[in-house]
Structure 1
Amino acid sequence: MRTAVVIGTGLIGTSAALALSGRGVHVHLVDHDPSQARTAAALGAGTDTEPDGPVDLAIVAVPPAHIAATIADAQRRGVARGYLDVASVKGGPRRELESLGGDLRLYLGTHPMAGRERSGPLAATADLFEGRPWVLTPTRDTDTEVLNLALELVALCRAVPVVMDADAHDRAVALVSHTPQLLSSMVAARLQGADETAVRLCGQGIRDVTRIAASDPAMWIDILSANPGPVADVLAAVAADLDETVQALRALQAADESKRREGAAGIEDVLRRGNAGRERVPGKHGAAPAVYEVVTVLIGDQPGELARIFADAGRAGVNIEDVRIEHATGQQAGLIQLMVEPSAVPALTATLREQGWSLRQ
């Protein structure tokens, strides 16, 4: 691939353009808002001029509701040899493109499984897709050259190609992406009218659950409008679990001992099913989830502290597998949780204590 055009210079489009430009592809940037294309160009994502002739690949990064019309228009103008989109739903846009008379041989629906809570070109990074799954949904109609261009794009962005049926993809993202967004928003919405005293008690658990609730509502309305049925199906199943859990909690309030036992059994059931489901979430590098030990350290909120603790861990010969930081309310300090292999705990704790760090149990 030598040339490409990115239509839509938001987070995903600009990130793809940055990755391609950084690897020698000449990228043209197009957006309905010219200022966004200029911003992306200023970041080094390409040029904000339209191509003079057909490019190798057109990457359409517009909201799902506009995918089909944008691709159909680009095909009529002969913008590229191949066309793909990067929207988070696949079945609907393909069917709509077919109804508009688009050439399905030259089109491939794709979805990079990466993103951020922020949107727009200023949130983009060239490494957004590195190591992340990138779904491709070819059909028997898909031209081999277009599939190869898509695979080259994925390779240049250093993502991992995953081939799926379009409708199966939409059911999958309803479960692992779209429903979690709504549930996160619903939990966060409980905080809106909560007493200030309660809000000040927020710890890492509520921060984890509500992190993606900071996402742009307009963007998610576009996404959910394109995949409402599968999301509603998952939410209906979650609602049934919620009803059973509410009944179990009510039973725990009962005076009758047998009802309390039933309630406890109901709560245990949902918690254990949650354990089993969580164990299926892929771990580091897509491997089976690993069990790490957590070493918790008190850390000051000043420049250089994170670098110092990571350097000390390196001095101990310990690889930090994951890390979390919980900031202390009203204090210039916090707790950093270093997740390491169990065998590495003695060496790490000994070195950290030698370097003057305060460890917590």
Structure 2
Amino acid sequence: MYKILAINLGSTSTKIAYYEDDDCKVRTNVEHPVEETSKFSHFMEQNEYREKIIAKFMEENRIDKTSLSAIVSRGGHTESLEGGVYRVNEEMLKQQASGMYGQHPCDLGSKIAFEMCKTTKAIPLIVDPPITDEFDLVARISGHPLIERRSSFHALSHKATAKRYARENGLKYDELSLVVVHLGGGISVSPHKNGRMIDGENALEGDGSFSTNRTGALPVGDLIRLCFSGKYTYNDVHKMLNGEGGLVAYLGTSDVKTVEENAKSDEKSALYLDAMIYQVCKQIGAMATVLSGKVDAILLTGGIAYSQSIVGKIEDRCGFIAPIVVYPGENEMESLARGTLEGLRGYEIIKEFEPKCR
């Protein structure tokens, strides 16, 4: 039996779960008050703060650190990698700490997993990090040589959902053609072909559909004029793209349940919710063409996929392309544990992180 501790650090929370093989024995989601996190100038300074929370969870649930097989964290930001299970090492931590490839509290999670494993037999791991990049060469071309399209979306969710579909249907992921859609705070759509995400979106910085708090792709000319209007700083515009865009910009809330309820009597709420769904469907159609229309299934996951109304509208527009299968919820902890278990069992290779440029 393999014993796995999964940690998932967010800006305002620490999620922790303990698994024995694929059975989750206990889990928690600790919310961090602003008055506590505001004491730190940067989330990478929160080592001790987060470690105490994890240690308390283990103590309360009588989890012996020395008995763990692996500690897995949601992966951080390094140079691009193929999807898979990776052992955390010094080189990986060095790139994450540099901030050159993006920044998120999950970068600290990798460091904590590494440090916790130093005095045990446990292996520190990450699974399908957000910088996973398996694009075909043609998908990288943007339209100008100074800018390259890059993969930056919900790789962990996408891969886990696709593999779950294959597993539950007695199929092989690396033999399928799928369109996977993550419907959460951010929205991303990717075509999966023969085990690779061959195209997709930069769901963080203005690509694809708008979501609850992100703009998705914007008319470029108008965006340029806004940037040089003198009214906004770089940080202002960046917040518009991620954090203050999408539904929250139009309606003042990023809560989809609230928007759905308001849409019953408010035409404005109904319009912007329909517009978001409309854009998602356009992206599904676009990614289906990447697969030449030969799509085995369209898979919907993420918190918004709990909404039968939204799923129904996607089915109305996209059901002609392929069968639609729904796996609601974020499922991040399960995805981390499942990927780790497959690596420990030898079903997947545990890869060593090796920088492309030293």
In the superposition, the TM-score normalised over structure 2's length comes to 0.31
Please identify the structure whose Cα radius of gyration is greater. 1
- Which structure is richer in relative contact order (CA contacts within 8 A, separation 6 or more)? 2
Higher share of residues assigned helix = 1
In the superposition, the TM-score normalised over structure 1's length comes to 0.31
